[in-house]
A and B are shown apart, each in its own frame.
Chain A
Amino acid sequence: MKKKSSLLPLLIWCGMTIITLLPIWWLFVVSMRTRVQLFGRPSMLLNGFYWGNYIEVLENEEFRFYMWNSIIVATSNCLLVTILALLATFALSRYKLAAEDSLFFWLITNRMAPAAVFLLPLFLIYTQWFNLFDTRIGLILLYGVFNLPFAIWLMKGIMDGIPKELDEAAMIDGASTFQVLTKVIIPLAKPGLAVTAILTWMFAWNEYLFAATLTSVEARTITTGLAEFVSVTGTNWGELAALSMLTLAPALVFLGFVQRHIVAGLTFGAVKE
């Protein structure tokens, strides 16, 4: 009985893997082809190892710089959002605050508007009021607007699931609020924090529209670099594909770190332990 039931899932997953990997595999194949080889009867197989596209991209110091910017922006935003979300959900969970539900709802609505809506006012704010145009800090703060609601939503359930009695026990022992946070809450919230961290990081790493509009040369991120390949003199698909593959790499590394916690952390607090 056991053996039979494990064959079907295996088969299904093999099929799923092929479907899942198809676009990524194709990106890889394209990245290994010269421009001349791109058109014509498409072959799914690698017909040679042409590293030229990767070399072009890696040797280009601009792209290395964009990659670096992306790393800084994504990681900083991830830290900022995780910490802020932790504090915010702690407050929402442990303190009786007026208009709590409305506040929560307003937080979520920030994530509902189509991106194009905010591009113009943000451009004006970034250039006229605060000198944030083409700065990394500008992007880091902006991504907070999209990531904070998501993070708070994720963390709220986790936070609610940590019994208040533990807090109280610690405070009776003389712990300050700060110590309650660090010694009691954080260790128990680890899976939630891990998931929040990675999803936040992913979003910041992959974001395109705002990065393209609000940066120019100094704070350019790697996703905007992708768009540069599309030009009148022919889209350089090979290099675009190579860059896409390279963009995937750090994300994979990060995923490796927080893999184990993902499933536990993703309940959005909808499931009570």
Chain B
Amino acid sequence: MRSPVTGWLFLAPTITVLAIFGFLPFLYVAFVGFFDWNPFAANPGLVFAGVNNYRRLVFDDLFLRSIGLTLQFTFWVVLSELVIGYLLAQLFMRDFPLKGLFRTIHTLPLLVAPIAVGASWKLLTTPGLGPIPYYLERWFGIDYRMGAFENQAFITTVVMDIWHWTPLVTLTLLAGLSAMPKEPIESAQVDGANRWQIFWHITLPMLKPVLLTTIFIRLMDALRTVDEVWMLTGGGPGTATRYIGLHIWRVVFPQTDYGYGAAMSLLTLYLTIMLCWFLYVALVARKPRGS
């Protein structure tokens, strides 16, 4: 009756699409990673290189720097979005006038195309064109020139990402908070627990699945950021915001170093999966306390 065959049939279209357009390219990239291949090298064909590309990657300063930057970026971005998103979600749990309107406005950044997000922030932050450098100088005496100062560029990309994606976190956490039963909190309040205790022992454990999901989604996407940062800084100043998505693009396209780029991609994918798995184990393995 409920034969697995029907089930597989339902899954078939999905698997087909993913196999052709996702798995096949992956196999290709895996294959090319074992070769030296640059159409503009003296030998433009595929030259077998074994694991040489991977060995080079381990010592490649630029690659390592890019990975490091990406991890830092992701850390700050995910952490900030979680904290801000949670606080905003809690705010939304209360009643206040025009709540619906605010929620709609808050969702707006999600609708803007990433490349347009990059463009708008570039317009905001270019000296001579945008208001931010001007007012930062005038009101705070800060010399804001993203093209010259690495820290400023890094911070700006973080702020831009927070602006763009916090609404997703807010809405997801709001969904979780809304669906939470109220009784445990109320009875804890009656028992005299303070805000922090309620948060740590009741809210957090109940919210854990939602939190985890949100962290993973944001983590995966932050690690892959390209469009916005490319438009905003081009990876600059120098290579200070050349996150791994951007770096791979530069190696594969302008530099046409296909073999090396393929190895880099595979290694990055592997690192991403490891990171997600590691987080998963660390956060889920602990048994939920209290009830």
Contact = CB atoms under 8 A, between A and B. Distances in A.
Contacts of B115: 206, 208, 223, 226-227
Given A13-B102, A20-B106, A262-B107, A26 B131 contact: yes
Interface stretch (B47-55, B56-64, B188-196, B242-250): B242-250
Interface in B121-141: 121, 123-124, 128-131, 134
B111 A111 contact: no
A125 B27 CA distance: 12
A60 interface: no
Contact of B120 (A27, A90, A124): A27
A124 B107 CA distance: 38
B163 A248 contact: no
Question: Chain A binding site: helix, strand, loop or mixed by DSSP?
Answer: helix
A241 interface: yes
B113 interface: yes
Contacts of A48: none
B263 to A, nearest CB: 11
Interface string A95-116: 1111000010001011111111
A91 B97 contact: no
Interface string A248-261: 10011001000100
Nearest to A2: B95
B213 interface: yes
Interface in B4-21: 4, 6-11, 13-14, 17-18, 20-21
Interface stretch (B72-80, B147-155, B197-205, B219-227): B219-227
A121 interface: yes
Q: Majority SS of interface residues in chain B?
A: helix
Given A42-B131, A98-B4, A88 B120 contact: no
A51 B244 CA distance: 40
Chain A's interface size range is 35 or more
Given A21-B105, A22-B124, A112-B224, A244 B112 contact: yes
Contact of A112 (B11, B109, B269): B269
B82 interface: no
B83 interface: no
A118 interface: yes
Interface string A2-32: 1001110110110011011111101100100
A117 B262 CA distance: 7
A112 B172 contact: no
Contact of A23 (B111, B163, B210): B163
A6 B96 contact: yes
A121 B25 contact: yes
A42 B163 CA distance: 22
Interface residues of B, number: 88
A121 B24 contact: yes
A46 interface: no
Contacts of B258: 120
A16 B87 CA distance: 12
Contacts of B41: none
B240 interface: no
Interface string B200-216: 00000000011011000
A112 B272 contact: yes
B233 to A, nearest CB: 14
A95 B6 contact: yes
Contact of B130 (A42, A111, A114, A271): A42
Contacts of B279: none
Chain A CB within 10 Å, residue with most, of B25, B95, B113, B209: B113
Given A91-B11, A117-B262, A270-B209, 6 more contacts: A92-B7, A95-B4, A107-B18, A117-B265, A270-B212, A271-B209
Closest 8 CB pairs of A and B: A95-B7, A270-B209, A117-B265, A121-B25, A91-B10, A206-B113, A116-B249, A121-B28
